[in-house]
Amino acid sequence: MDLQKRYVEIEGVKTHYIEAGSGPVLILIHGGGSGADAWGNWRGCLEAYAQHFRVIAVDMPGFGESDRPDPKDFDYGQTMRNRHMAGFVETIGAGKAVNLIGNSMGGATALGIAIERPELVRKLVLMGAAGLDVSNPDPAAKKALGSYDYTPEGMRKLVSFLAGSRFEISDEMVAYRHELTMRPGARAAMGAIHNRLKEDPMTYPRERISSVSCPTLVVGGKEDQVAVLARTYGYLDLIPNSWGFILPHAGHWVMIEAPEAFVAVTTAFLNGPGFEA
């Protein structure tokens, strides 16, 4: 696989992305957990996607190889993420509609683009996506997400919460994600993201979610403790042109825990007919 590392400036942020393949543009947006980035979230899918698409995995501001602006000078709220990523999509797609796949916070961002800039989105995949305000029945879930203490042991604990019960956590994954959180500015950026949630949350009113008209595939792990199944079903209820795929024994990271199944299902959806109303 011919993998290219590239950068582009969007909203004043030097934005890193990984690119492979050719064909219709497919942009992958990672989640927002500590230690997340494009490579860590999507590396198991890139080679297979590159057989069908010009696939691009992007690092959001504050993550991976993209800039981590000082929170005093940059707004880490969801509104800015939507604007930044819409600018990225517009630049990469040269103004044409692209396919978007988003996980968790990246799902909320992909959804925000579909709501606010529908002309930029051809088809949408929401995987364990934030965006819909559904109460988590387990209050320990929210606490676990915010309990990372910036140690390797803390990262292993966080990964074990996010993944399903059958996922084998490798030392390599723990070390990779932990190292990303040790980079200059990473901790401040993550703190700013959490601080902005109260005023600028990763959720949208139900009527705005219902306005999404592009074909949408909603993917969930049956063991996901963050994006619980009620949220998955909520998206299916609200979005008119939506399909659903629930994977057993998987948690919040279907694309990491079951990359072959995830790529197969999403590729069939993205290359198949829309059946729009």
Active-site positions read 104, 224, 252
| Element housing 85 (H / E) | helix 78-92
Residue 219, Cα to own-chain centre: how many angstroms?
A: 12
Phi-psi category of 64—alpha, beta or left, where left has phi over 0 and alpha has psi -120 to 50? left
Note whether 238 and 129 are within 8 A (CB): no
- Enter the tokens of residue 230: 């009620």
| Element housing 248 (H / E) | none
* CA–CA separation, 95 and 265 (whole Å): 27
Name residues whose C-beta falls within 8 Å of residue 105's C-beta, 6 or more positions apart in sequence.
31, 32, 33, 60, 81, 130, 202
* CA–CA separation, 142 and 176 (whole Å): 23
* CA–CA separation, 76 and 83 (whole Å): 11
Which amino acid, 231?
R
Strand order in the sheet with 216-221: 4-10, 13-20, 54-58, 25-29, 98-103, 121-127, 216-221, 242-247
Within 13 Å and on the Cβ side, how many CA atoms surround 134?
19
Which residues is 247 bridged to in the sheet?
221
End-to-end CA distance of the chain: 38
* CA–CA separation, 126 and 107 (whole Å): 5
